[in-house]
Structure 1
Amino acid sequence: MANEQQESSQGEMEGVNCLAHDEAIMAQQDRIQQEIATTNALVSDRQDLSVLQGEYAAEDSIYQLKIKDLQKKYSYVRKTRPDGNCFYRAFGFAHLESLLDDSKELQRFKAVAAKSKLDLVNQGFTEFTIEDFHNTFMDLIKLCEKQQSLGELLSSFNDQSVSDYIVVYLRLLTSGYLQREHVFFKHFIEGSRSVKEFCQQEVEPMSKESDHIHIIALAKALNVPVLVEYMDRGEGGTVNNHVFPEGSEPRIFLLYRPGHYDILYK
């Protein structure tokens, strides 16, 4: 009996220790996120591409050579906060920014965006759940239509509540497209997860990072082709790029560094 009590007590202590350990990890993650939030705007001002050189040691020849290669094609970069939502925020801002000077594309995009809510509802998404996110998305498009200034658009994207609503809606559009085309996309999902399970676990939740599958789906869902420049530690001094969907004419340009996306400008 004493042994049983002792084992029970030890079990409880281990449980308490595990809980304390988990809470300590969560607290540390919160501190890291707060530090990122105070030092990084959700979407920065446009900066000269040369700022990237200062982010790597002068003797880091691989990255320094690749930055020089990037400078042959691009002049500016606009950074996004590294919070797991950077792909959607970069995609959303870059395209809406381009609409300020392209009324034809704005009208096409507005029509696609307006219809997108009904498409999601017809797929089984709850209208009540997605309505506010869709409304915020449409409001920003309408502001661009009223010749909103770049400064106002940037302010909107740096308002956490507005910006995050845009990210949520773009995640929903990505999920919706993946599920509509599940026969094609199921071959690209590792493990035994269905496309729906993948979307519920890796696409719809905030702060989940994005990969090729997310980029293809969102680019196709909105018919907004995107070129991604991949800057990693691969050998050679050149930066490889890929256009999504393949063979299309890109409208926006993103820079990918392991785990993070920023916006590029020619």
Structure 2
Amino acid sequence: MEYIPLRVNCLAYDEAIMAQQDRIQQEIATSIPLVSDRQELSVLQREYAVEDTIYQLKIKDLHKKYSYIRKTRPDGNCFYRAFGFSHLESLLEDSKELQRFKAVAAKSKLDLVNQGFTEFTIEDFHNTFMDLLELCEKQPGLRELLGSFRDQSVSDYIVVYLRLLTSGYLQREHGFFQHFIEGGRSVKEFCQQEVEPMSKESDHIHIIALAQALNVSILVEYMDRGEGGSVNHHVFPEGSEPRVFLLYRPGHYDILYK
């Protein structure tokens, strides 16, 4: 009987698992748009069994405040994509905030370069970000903005730049954020491992940093299996007036509308 080293079997097993994950990601990519059309909030009720009383009660609670939802692809980039689309969509009807935000975005590249980010590396991402803001200035139809966010290359460049802004802010304020990072890592290590790479999921620390970096208030509704029939929410930064409303379900963010 031929001896097959255990290590070889493990490698083959790992490759099979990775291939399966790739297939799942491809299925997600072909079946779920990067950013969906706006839908009635009632679509959530059909995603959970009628007997799933915890989630059904929480969806009823959401209905008291929101009427619509816009879904994002569950690819690990959903927080940044949801934030980016939701805020830019709001800028189509708010020229004052658009000009403020554009000035912050324009200056942000220099801030990152001054922190040690390589200009050559970040330039294309920043240019794409600014191009999209200039598109908003022309007051296009919503379909045009949606088309940009559904274009994988444009959409991913926006996500990358928002990740860089988040990383930059975390590192600028490392004295504050260091207390929230586990595992003995520095803020810089955390950013290199958990913020800058694509497909890495986001948590409170990412949301706080991006909201403060761009001075845009974000409200997140947390829908999980916690007890009680109500949905808890948190505003970043605390006490601010929210402009972006997101729904969080474990591992995923979508956009909410009143």
In which range does the TM-score fall when normalised by the shorter chain?
A: over 0.9
SS in 2 for 1:209: coil
Find the counterpart in structure 1 of residue 17 from structure 2.
Answer: 25
SS in 2 for 1:119: helix
Find the counterpart in structure 2 of residue 262 from structure 1.
Answer: 254
Find the counterpart in structure 1 of residue 245 from structure 2.
Answer: 253
Does 1:77 find its partner at 2:69? yes
Rounded Cα–Cα distance in structure 2 between residues aligned with 1:224 and 1:119: 18
Find the counterpart in structure 2 of residue 100 from structure 1.
Answer: 92
Rounded Cα–Cα distance in structure 2 between residues aligned with 1:262 and 1:21: 34
Rounded Cα–Cα distance in structure 2 between residues aligned with 1:258 and 1:206: 18
Rounded Cα–Cα distance in structure 1 between residues aligned with 2:141 and 2:133: 12
Counterpart of 2:40 (choices 45, 48, 63) is 48
Query: 1:25 Cα shift?
Result: 1.0
Find the counterpart in structure 2 of residue 243 from structure 1.
Answer: 235
Query: 1:20 Cα shift?
Result: 1.0
Gaps of 5+ in 1: 1-8
Does 1:155 find its partner at 2:124? no
Rounded Cα–Cα distance in structure 2 between residues aligned with 1:90 and 1:188: 24
Query: 1:13 Cα shift?
Result: 2.6
Does 1:124 find its partner at 2:116? yes
Rounded Cα–Cα distance in structure 1 between residues aligned with 2:139 and 2:179: 43
Find the counterpart in structure 2 of residue 35 from structure 1.
Answer: 27
SS in 2 for 1:118: helix
> Given residue 92 of structure 1, which amino acid in structure 2 is its aligned partner?
G
Written as runs of structure 1 = structure 2, the 5 A alignment for 1:107-186 is 107-186=99-178
* Cα deviation 1:77-123 (Å, max 9, x = unaligned): 00000000000000000000000000000000000000000000000
SS in 1 for 2:37: strand
Of structures 1 and 2, the larger Rg is shown by: 1
Gaps of 5+ in 2: none
Rounded Cα–Cα distance in structure 1 between residues aligned with 2:183 and 2:5: 36
Counterpart of 2:79 (choices 87, 97, 112) is 87
SS in 1 for 2:221: strand
Does 1:59 find its partner at 2:58? no
TM-score (norm 1): 0.95
Query: 1:17 Cα shift?
Result: 1.6
Runs of 4+ in 1 over 6 A off after TM superposition: none
Q: Give me the identity figure in percent.
A: 87
* Cα deviation 1:118-159 (Å, max 9, x = unaligned): 000000000000000000000000000011211000010000
TM-score (norm 2): 0.98
Query: 1:15 Cα shift?
Result: 2.8
Query: 1:14 Cα shift?
Result: 2.5
Query: 1:249 Cα shift?
Result: 0.5
Q: Superposition RMSD on alpha carbons, in Å?
A: 1.0
Counterpart of 1:228 (choices 216, 220, 227) is 220
